[in-house]
Amino acid sequence: MTSLISALLPFMGILVLLAIVGVAFNILIAGRKTPREFPYEREDRLFTPAELSFLKVLEQAVGENYRIFGKVRLADVIRVKRGLSNSARQTAFNQIQSKHLDYVICDPNDLSIQFAVELDDRSHTKPKRQKRDDFVNKALAAAGVPLFRFPVKQSYSIQDIQNQLFDMQEETN
């Protein structure tokens, strides 16, 4: 047995030496790698000029009674009902996770969601966008979140926005 160990000792030494060289090589190579670059850059603005213009009038229309959030993910406004199978739940979530609402209006005290607003530009006349809009309309209605749509215009009247938002709100409350 001792003679077997004596015979294997040089091979074990070589294996240990190779392991040390391998570890040292990996450390050396890892130190030379350049950091991974992410393929992203900053957007210039959060809102398009039309969205910003509408936001300014919307802020005046709702005053201090509400707080406005922009470009909110639909999945942060509504959730999938409990009681569905995992597969059905995941499918339903997948349909809302990547969609966004232009504006979500909340109570300023507890940030409870009061209603949502979509600003419809020319892209909303395309069939694919109309299908998306129809889904969003139905999903929000099913969840009990009022949705108001406004067409993009050159200018907006505070009174017209208030009339559409609050005349309809009173009817639903």
pLDDT at site 169: 53
Residue 33 has pLDDT above 90, yes or no: no
pLDDT of residue 24 exceeding 80, the answer is no
User: What's the mean pLDDT when you consider all of the chain?
Assistant: 88
Longest dimension (CA), the chain: 100
Which pLDDT score, from 0 to 100, does residue 36 have? 82
pLDDT in tens, 99-115: 999 999 999 999 999 99
The predicted structure's pLDDT at residue 1: 62
The fraction of the chain above a pLDDT of 90, given in percent, is: 72
> pLDDT, tens digit, for every residue of 110-130?
999 999 999 999 888 899 999
57 versus 13: which is more confidently predicted?
Answer: 57
pLDDT at site 35: 66
